[in-house]
Amino acid sequence: VGEVADTRSQYVARKRRDYEAQRNQAEAAEAAQSDSDWSKVQAGALGWTKGFGLGALRGVWNNAKGVAEGGLSAAQTVALDPADVALGRSPLDRIADPLINAGAAVANELSSPAKLGADAWGRVRQTGRELNPFQGFAPTAAQQGAWAQKTGENAGERAVDLATLAEGALQFKLAKELGYIGKIPTVESYAARGTPAGISKYFAGPYTGRQGSHFIPQRVDFLPKWFMDSPFNRTMPSPRATAGQMSEFHFKNDDRFNGGRVPFRFGGGGWSGKRLDWTRPAAPVRWWRGMPLPMKLAGYAGLGGLGALLPNDQETTQP
Amino acid sequence: MKLRDVAQFASELPDGAVENEEGTDFIVWPARPVAEALHELLHAMGCEPGPVVSASFKGWEITFIYRGRPLWCRISMIERYIAYFDDKGLWPNLIGMKPAVYAEFLARLGDTLSSDRRFQDVRWYALKEIETDFAGALRPVA
């Protein structure tokens, strides 16, 4: 009798557990249905924003890693290898081979325009799936938020890639403006821009100043001088930069610098950037342009360090 | 209330420029005597000005304190002299709202500058109005 009673009590207990599990399941399903579309939109927007930040940090880290690996690979490519020397091959052969292979792959793609179009369209659709946080509603707001976070991470990484490319283009432009690369302006090139003759002659002469251009202005007196005059805060032009190049660079970066005087040898009088039709970018662009590259790299390294702490992830689309 | 904190004026004081031997550039940049006259004027207004400092081709700069507020001035020259004034505080520059004491300083400076014979035909501008067709305002605070 005792054995039967035990079995019965076990049976009741099991049934109670089953009923409780069924009730929990039903409540969960009901709760899931009670997540309104609006709450899913909110969770999605929040998740996407959070993911964008995380993805951007990871993107910075991946780019920094990519640059380091690329540099190492380039160094290995150009270094002399004893095996190559024995075969009479030069480092140029090692550079040429992958280029030839890449060229052949591109030629193969271009040989079939229909396939090229289909591939391009496929890539556009794939990118849309990777970046769009709302490709339909998930069963719950929590799931919607999680999916949106993944697409946000993808978007953050892409945004960092685009921003890095844009920064590269800006640095190229600034290197030209500061005389590090490209042709140095001449009297004739200034005159061709409509600059009066005397001012053209003055502008084509060398920049003799030694102050450079400070990002945080020198009137900010609570920062130490070593920092204020360091490459993190001061942009110096190339030794071959002209007076005109540095004047124009300053005009673009400082809205309290609008012109100056011309020595008597060149006719005297004054020059005004606005009268020379120079234009000054809007404040945020001006601020970004004026920030020296070492300061930007330090910020990039800091963000990359944070990105390195995040778990790596593959690009993910919504299921 | 609109603040115009850039003054343009003429002056019969010498420009103080010293050119290099070749005459191709300046060793001492123009506007120093006017900057020193402005330094005296600020002192007479009860400010505590620091020294007149060269900012190379950008002109001459003076940092000073007016009623406990750190302010700044840069004097340069195109055809006429230009004096840029600003509040040195970080927040007023970030949010673009200057404190009342700065407006009070500008109003007093406007009167003082106009009545000082060393400075003639004083006109006031906002930064965007400089070197435009705008003829300038007679007072910095409107």
The pLDDT value recorded for residue B102 is 95
Task: Please check whether residue A137 is in contact with residue A36, taking contact to mean a CB–CB distance below 8 angstroms.
Answer: no
Confidence of residue A4 (pLDDT cuts 50, 70, 90): low
Scanning the structure block, which residue is given the tokens 């970066």? A253
CA distance A252 to chain B (A): 13
Residue A102 in tokens: 């890449």
Best residue in A261, A266, A274, A286 to probe B by mutation, most B CBs within 10 Å?
A: A261
Query: pLDDT tens across B53-90, in order?
Result: 999 899 999 999 999 999 999 999 999 999 999 998 87
Chain B residues inside the 8 Å CB shell of A241:
none
| A266: chain B residues, CB-CB within 8 Å | 24
Average pLDDT over residues A282-293: 92
Q: Do A256 and B84 touch (CB under 8 A)?
A: yes
pTM here is 0.75
Nearest to A270 by CA among A279, A278, A260, A280: A260
Side-chain half-sphere exposure of A289, counting CA atoms within 13 A: 21
Q: What is the mean pLDDT of chain A?
A: 85
Cβ contacts of B86 on chain A, cutoff 8 Å: 256
Distance from CA of B68 to the nearest CA of A (A): 16
Per-residue pLDDT tens over the stretch A145-173: 888 888 899 999 999 999 989 999 999 99
What are the tens digits of pLDDT across the range A71-110? Answer: 777 777 667 666 776 777 666 676 677 778 888 887 877 7
CA separation, residue A116 to residues A110, A128, A129, A220 (Å): 7, 18, 20, 56
Which residues in chain B are contacts of A258 at CB distance < 8 A?
A: 76, 78, 82, 130-131
